[in-house]
Amino acid sequence: MNAQTNISALANLQSAWRNRSPREQSLLVAGALFLILLGMVLTVAWGYSERQRLLRVVPQAEARLRQMQLATDERARLQGLPLPVRLADPALAAALSGGANARGLTLTVQLTGDGAQIKGQGAFDALLVWLADIQREYALRPVSAEIQRDGALARFELRLVFPVPE
């Protein structure tokens, strides 16, 4: 029954086409060709704009991917390194003070269960280098820092902690 409906619909269309004048047929064909051409032009324009967008976006995405891969490699490398040996409290206090004094920093160290509270003063640049060194050597990480800088001199209060094992 469905095939018969399709055949009758096709017959109706053919009949309607034949009943049109040649001028109307030409206008309908021209309109259909215009719509097809317009669809093609719009598709090509869209494709061109998408190509331009991709030429801009893909390099940015590739750069972000490279950064993520480098960060992943660095994380894997760092996880493979053994944690620095945690010194006993008196030795840690002496090591922190000694490294700071060698850089011209004066400070007082108060050890806590998970790290150290430090107050002191000295050259700002030397403070930053010292912080980087103790992070690398003893795995102490700053969790809070109050630094008052006056030119090259800095007064500081730091709270440093050991990392929590995973």
Nearest to 136 by CA among 101, 111, 160, 106: 160
The DSSP line for 72-139 is HHHHHHHHHSPPPPPPPHHHHHHHHHHHHHHTT-EEEEEEETTEEEEEEEEEHHHHHHHHHHHHHHH-
What is the pLDDT, as a whole number, of residue 165?
61
Does residue 98 lie in a domain region?
yes
The structure's pTM equals 0.49
Flag whether 166 is in a domain.
Answer: no
Q: 30 is written with which tokens?
A: 């021209």
**Residue 123 near residue 153, CB atoms below 8 Å:** yes
Q: Compute CA 17 distance to the chain's CA centroid, rounded to the nearest angstrom.
A: 61
- CATH code of residue 123: 3.30.1360.100
What is the structure's pLDDT at 136?
83
**Nearest of 160, 159, 117 to residue 138 by alpha carbon:** 160
Same domain, 56 and 124: no
Residue 82 burial (C-beta neighbours within 10 Å; 0-12, 13-18, 19+) = exposed
Three-state secondary-structure class, residue 148: strand
Q: What is the pLDDT along the chain (166 residues), one digit of tens a residue?
A: 577 777 888 888 888 889 999 999 999 999 999 999 999 999 999 999 999 999 999 999 999 999 999 999 999 987 887 666 565 667 878 888 888 888 889 998 888 878 889 999 999 999 999 998 888 888 888 899 899 988 888 899 999 888 766 5
Last residue of a domain, one of 46, 80, 114: 80
Q: Which domain holds residue 65?
A: 2-80
Q: Which two tokens stand for residue 125?
A: 């640049």
Q: Which of 25, 60, 80 is the last residue of a domain?
A: 80
The alpha carbon of residue 31 and the mean position of all alpha carbons in its chain are separated, in whole angstroms, by 51
